[in-house]
Amino acid sequence: MFLRSLVLWILFPAWVFAAVPADDAFLDEVQERSFRYFLDEVNPYNGLVRDSASHREGIAGRAPASIAATGFALTAYPAGVERGWMDRGKARELTRRTLEFFLRQAPHQKGFFYHFLDFETGKRVKNSELSPIDTALFLAGAVFAGEYYGDPEIRDLARKIYERVDFPWMMNKGESLALSWTPESGFSRLRWDHFDESLLLYVLAIGAPDGGHPLPPAVWGKLQRPAGSYRDYRLIQMPPLFTHQYPQIWLDLKNKNDGQADYFKNSVNATLANKAFCEDQASKYRTYREGFWGLSASDGPSGYKAYGAPPGWSVVHDGTVAPTACGSSIVFTPEESIACLRRFREKYGEKMWGRYGFADAMNVDKNWMSDKVIGIDQGALLLMIENYRTGFVWRHMMKNEFVRNALQKIGFREGSVELPWPEPPVYRAPYVPDRINVDAMLRDWPAGGAIHLTSEGHAEFGQISGSKDLSAKIRFAWDETFLYFIAQVNDDHVQIRRTGRNIWRDDLVELYIDPDGDGFYWDSPSDYQIGFRPSSDAHNEMEVWSWFQGGESFLESGKALAASYTDAQGYIVEGAIRWEALGVRPRPSLSISISPAVHDVDPREGDAKLVWFFRNEREFQRFVLGRVILEEAKGGA
């Protein structure tokens, strides 16, 4: 018996043995209810699927169509065929009709579709944007359908739609794809420049047919992949869980890496960190205390929000959890995800379970249950369960020549790889026996190296078009009274408008300081975020603001000295912070945790920020910074 089991294990993938019979019955029910959404909320004449619908029976849908939900539908129909919930001929005809509509009638620009369309007419809804990511989710469904049916007409329609997408146009002369475009406003200043659900978008863009408009593989390496950790789970940080799930609905990345990350393993850790965060917040929220978890973009008590968990900078949570969040991670964390879905069904099934399965989200603390279901959430849950049970979506999608070519061009190879985890950088600050005159000039500064901040490796967010757009050289020095710094900032458009606590909205230099070296905790009374906003002329004085400890001007309190100089190429900011203000007694060899950052506001590109080293580690809102070591005076102390 053991030998037979061993042979079967070798011959067949692990997912063949994934579900036990009791789980099979439960997962059948969840999938079948979710699948109903795509049968009931579709326009049979054009294939458009509503973005959302009522959770309850008997309430007609009024939501517009979503091109992303339609892409999920094109993948869901074959899953339904295989499960016996839909006739193959009907599924094929509905798919053909959908692709015909998108090729011939759906409004587009350079092949990109508008996010929301009128359910009946297919016309653009209000000021809806051309959405690269939602176009990609539709394309994924179209490409998948072409592989599944083996129908020459469906495959040809899908290819023509794919070939028409002008991916380079959406780059808008930048290094990453623009977030969106509208006829009224043009390209969004925001970009798809970080690790998130856009991995799928870039795979499709790089793998586009030769007759189309592919992107060069080099764009893959331009995406920012900031690493962080929660408890002992290390991952590329992006708080909402769906960002770790959506690309792998179609892409089988298990036991593969691109030389930078094992994205499947990354999603495992993201899911476990999400669950752990909810457990750690249980004392504050009844929802989590009852054992629920799953933070992702979903409906919420005050509307749709991108809920998420650390690590990451912008973590939003209020006790709202979504079944699709924990359930769509079933391929990454089978045991935990199935238990989570069962808990939703068993404890709140009367309220949470409806005609399409689970309602979108709930919040026990606020006695709130969503009254809707959202198409992409139902689709993700349905398809990830299918991948867990049979590998169905992966098996067909990974046969596609364009997907295979993209992964090869990017450099994916078999095997795992550890996420890069560099040590915090170190800068050695020289001792100055004679006080530095704080005048925004370098003449009093000792010779030595500088911290160089550039878009390569230091970009926290935003589009930076080159060193003239934003870069900086920063030096530190010290004496018994002051910690000195001087920042030479290249910035081709300096914006200076605000005062006081609002200077963070302007161009400025920030210092994050953790005097105790125990981690920088956001808004901690023992840590500091100090902003130095330059002056533009004699009528616009320099501002220095410390946001923690209630907030105060470090200039008015005498805790800091500062000066600046501004010209057409950028600005210089020089500052001196009293050690006493930081609660530090300086001495040679003392290591201070510090990270300088430079914020830029441009009318064209929008906000951008460079930061030396700022990594979220182990706890919520705890960050590890770079280190500045105080050197001895030359010739000894």
Instruction: Quick: pLDDT tens for 70-120.
Output: 999 999 999 999 999 999 999 999 999 999 999 999 999 999 999 999 999
* Per-residue pLDDT tens over the stretch 178-226: 999 999 999 998 999 999 999 999 999 999 999 999 999 999 999 999 9
- Residue 251 carries which side chain, given as an amino acid letter? L
Average pLDDT of 271-275?
A: 99
SS (H, E, C) 546-565: ECCCCCEECCCCCCEEEEEE
Confidence bin at 122 (pLDDT 50/70/90) = very high
Reported as type and span, the H/E element at residue 24 is helix 21-40
Instruction: Please report the pLDDT score of residue 457 as a whole number.
Output: 84
DSSP per position, 307-325: ---SSSS----SS-B-HHH
Percent of the chain with pLDDT over 90: 88
**pLDDT for the residue 216:** 98
The DSSP symbol for 194 reads B
pLDDT above 50 for 2: no
Tokens at 205, concatenated = 């863009």
Amino acid at 71: G
DSSP 147: H
Partners of residue 233 on adjacent β-strands: 230
Q: Look at residue 10 in the predicted model and tell me its pLDDT.
A: 39
What pLDDT does residue 479 have? Answer: 98
In this structure, the strands spanning 256-257 and 413-414 are antiparallel
- Beta-carbon neighbour count of residue 322 at 10 Å? 30
* Per-domain residue ranges of the chain: 17-409, 426-630
Q: Across-strand partners of 560?
A: 577
Are the beta carbons of 229 and 236 closer than 8 angstroms? no
Give the C-alpha separation, 535 to 563, whole Å: 8
The string of pLDDT tens digits covering residues 592-628 is 999 999 999 987 767 899 999 999 999 998 999 999 9
Token pair 């495959």: residue: 155
The CA–CA distances, whole Å, from 159 to 99, 364, 635 equal: 10, 46, 73
Task: Report the pLDDT value the prediction gives residue 461, as an integer from 0 to 100.
Answer: 84
Residue 11 pLDDT level (bands cut at 50, 70, 90) = very low
Q: Which is it for strands 426-429 and 622-630: parallel, antiparallel or unpaired?
A: parallel
Helix (H) or strand (E) holding 190, with range, is: none
Question: What is the CATH number that goes with domain 17-409?
Answer: 1.50.10.140
Across 451-466, average pLDDT: 88
CA torsion, ordered 139, 145, 148, 152, to nearest 10 deg: -110
**Cα–Cα distance, 570 to 495 (Å, whole number):** 10
Residue 7's pLDDT is 38
CB 264 within 8 Å of CB 89: no
Residue 540: predicted pLDDT:
61
Average pLDDT score over the chain:
94
pLDDT of residue 536: 80
Ramachandran area for residue 430 (φ above 0: left; ψ -120 to 50: alpha; else beta): beta
Give residue-wise pLDDT tens across range 341-378.
999 999 998 899 999 999 999 999 999 999 999 999 99
Name the DSSP letter for residue 49: B
CA distance 625 to 616: 9
Residue 249 has pLDDT above 90, yes or no: yes
Q: What is the pLDDT of residue 12?
A: 40
Same fold flag, 17-409 and 426-630: no
For 9, 215, 496, 498, the CA distances from 537, given in Å and listed in that order, are: 73, 45, 10, 14
CA distance 585 to 548: 21
Q: Is the pLDDT of residue 539 over 90?
A: no
pLDDT of residue 634: 80
CATH number of 426-630: 2.60.40.1190
Torsion of CA 225, 231, 233, 237, to 10 degrees: -20
Give dist(CA 512, CA 527) in Å, integer. 8
If one counts every other C-beta atom within 10 angstroms of the C-beta of residue 83, the result is 17
Residues 6+ apart with CB under 8 A from 403: 143, 203, 204, 207, 250, 251, 397
Q: Residue 635: which pLDDT band, with cuts at 50, 70 and 90? A: low
Kindly indicate the confidence band of residue 20, based on its pLDDT and cuts at 50, 70 and 90: low
Two tokens, residue 239: 């708080």
Closest C-alpha to 187, from 179, 175, 195, 176: 179
DSSP helix/strand/coil, 541? coil
Q: pLDDT, tens digit, for every residue of 552-608?
A: 999 999 999 999 999 999 999 999 999 999 999 999 999 999 999 999 998 776 789
Write down the pTM of the prediction.
0.92
pLDDT band at 313 (very low <50, low <70, confident <90, very high): confident
Quote the CA–CA distance of 263 and 255 in Å, as a whole number.
Answer: 9
Query: How many other CB atoms are there within 10 angstroms of residue 197's CB atom?
Result: 20
